[in-house]
Amino acid sequence: MNNFSFSSANAVDAALEQIGSGPGSTTAAGFAKFIAGGTNLLDLMKENVMRPARLVDINPLSLSGIDALPDGGLRLGALARNADTAYHPLVASRYPLLSAAILAGASAQIRNMASNGGNLLQRTRCYYFYDTGVPCNKREPGSGCPAISGLARLHAILGASDQCIATHPSDMCVALRALDAVVQVQSPRGGRAIPMAEFHRLPGEQPDRDTTLAHDELITSIDLPAPSPGFVAHSAYLKLRDRASYAFALVSVAAALDIDADGLVKEARIALGGVAHKPWRDPQAEALLVGQPASPAAFAQAADHLLRGAKAQGVGPGSNAFKIPMAQRAVVRALETALAGTVTNTGHNDNPKDVP
């Protein structure tokens, strides 16, 4: 591991001053990074994938609250831990889709440490990205992408480029995308709000950039709009993976339905994880369901539309062609599960901090 300096900030202004305005590239020798739970950044530093010259500890900042907003929405502090967020009574009762997605990720220990802001900025789990012995355009722009002709099991089937076929690994972000969350950030230039749809980006010609966040911008909160009673009653998060726990999604689906008294769909949300460089959503696929009876046939039609243009990556046994039918079926199953009624998170609580 490389040497780095460490400082701590106890106010947002101080954090912004300390982060400075150095280059933001992961390959630059000297740049500063915020550190929250450290569950991703420290792994990347230990593997020599990221080499920040300076860490700014933001844990002392007062950004851990989960607070109701005047418009009926909810503000999730950037430093609220994933476990505290998932089990918070207002999240569990009003946004059960978000609770379910968070609890599908990582392990109890990691969720106790991982912050909401850090979850948004966790980096891809592409095997080659972590292996500094091989080229990788995300790590070293212009060096190449061995995944395209190699092992692509965890990789994209939608929105990839000829530079990078990586996926974003977060579960939480898939639900946030389905729920139209907005990310609030602060920088020396002031504050701005970034809709989840615009927060993560597709790789295109700049695969080293995962998001639209500037190097010196601090995430302060993630805001959720007022909950839809329909979605509270009918939502589901389905995660398909190689192991039942402690594994990243091959495909995941956040699904929510608002159904009228005649069983027709008033509104639908479908977001996919594990299939693209960002949580994948297509308003046209959702619109296809509106006014339709909530049925497997209608769900299958929406799934086909959502997956149109899907393309397998990788070669031979490394190919991820299996993901295309898997994603189609997962969308139908998630919508059927949502239709049957949300299973709320009222039982097992593995967060020791919450146990009385």
Ligand X SMILES: Cc1cc2nc3c(=O)[nH]c(=O)nc-3n(C[C@H](O)[C@H](O)[C@H](O)COP(=O)(O)OP(=O)(O)OC[C@H]3O[C@@H](n4cnc5c(N)ncnc54)[C@H](O)[C@@H]3O)c2cc1C
Using CB under 6 A, list all residues that contact ligand SF4. 124, 126, 128-129, 136-138, 145-147, 164-166, 207
Sheet strands side by side (includes 265-273): 235-240, 251-259, 265-273, 280-281
Tokens of 230: 């329909």
Residue with Cβ nearer ligand X (218 or 275): 218
| Least spacing, CB of residue 320 vs ligand X, in Å | 18
* Residues in Cβ contact with 68 at an 8 Å cutoff, skipping those fewer than 6 apart: 74, 75, 90
Q: How far is the CB of 117 from ligand SF4 (least distance, A)?
A: 22
Q: 118 contacts which partner out of ligand X, ligand SF4, none, CB within 5 to 8 A by kind?
A: ligand X
What's the CA dihedral at 227, 92, 182, 110 to 10 degrees? -170
Region from 103-111, 138-146, 156-164, 325-333 binding ligand X, contact rule CB under 6 A:
103-111
List 16, 74, 78, 289, residue binding ligand X (CB under 6 A): 78
Residue 138 site contact among ligand SF4, ligand X, none (CB < 5 to 8 Å, cut-off depends on kind): ligand SF4
In angstroms, what is the minimal distance from the CB of 305 to ligand X? Answer: 26
Among 99, 112, 115, 337, binds ligand X (CB under 6 A): 115
Cα–Cα distance measured from residue 34 to residue 4, given in angstroms and rounded to the nearest whole number: 13
Pick from 219, 224, 265, 271 the residue near ligand X by CB under 6 A: 219
14 token code pair: 């101080």
Closest distance of CB 179 from ligand SF4, Å: 27
Report the nearest approach of ligand X to the CB of residue 59 (Å). Answer: 9
Q: Is 273 left (phi over 0), alpha (psi -120 to 50) or beta?
A: beta
State the Cα–Cα distance between residues 58 and 137, nearest whole angstrom: 29
37 binds ligand X (CB under 6 A): yes
Based on the shown chain and the rule CB under 6 A, indicate whether residue 154 belongs to the binding site for ligand X.
no
122 binds ligand X (CB under 6 A): yes
Cβ-based neighbour number of residue 75 at 10 Å: 19
For residue 258, the cross-strand partners are 267
CA distances from 133 to 11, 41, 125, 320 (A): 39, 19, 16, 23
Q: Which one of ligand X, ligand SF4, none is in contact with 33 (Cβ closer than 5 to 8 A by kind)?
A: ligand X
Contact residue for ligand X among 34, 87, 128, 231 (CB under 6 A): 34
Binding of residue 110 to ligand X (CB under 6 A): yes
CB atoms within 10 A of CB 204: 14
Give min distance, CB of 150 to ligand SF4, in A. 8
Closest to ligand SF4 by CB, 4 vs 130, is 130
How does strand 54-57 pair with strand 5-8? parallel
First to last CA, the chain: 40
Q: HSE of 84 in the Cβ direction (CA atoms, 13 Å)?
A: 17
Please identify which residue in 9, 91, 172, 275 interacts with ligand X, judged by CB under 6 A.
Answer: 172
Enumerate residues 58-77 that contact ligand X by CB under 6 A. 58
Separation of alpha carbons 158 and 151, rounded Å: 16
Distance CA 343, CA 333 (A): 14
Length of the chain: 356
136 binds, among ligand SF4, ligand X, none (CB under 5 to 8 A by kind): ligand SF4
| Partner touching 146 among ligand SF4, ligand X, none, CB below 5 to 8 Å by kind | ligand SF4
Q: Judged by CB, which is closer to ligand X: 228, or 320?
A: 320
CB of 220 closer than 8 Å to CB of 184? yes
Specify the residue, 183 or 265, whose C-beta has the smaller distance to ligand X.
Answer: 183
Which residues of the chain form contacts with ligand X (CB under 6 A)? 33-41, 43, 58, 78, 82, 105-106, 110, 113-115, 117-119, 121-122, 169-172, 218-219, 246, 248
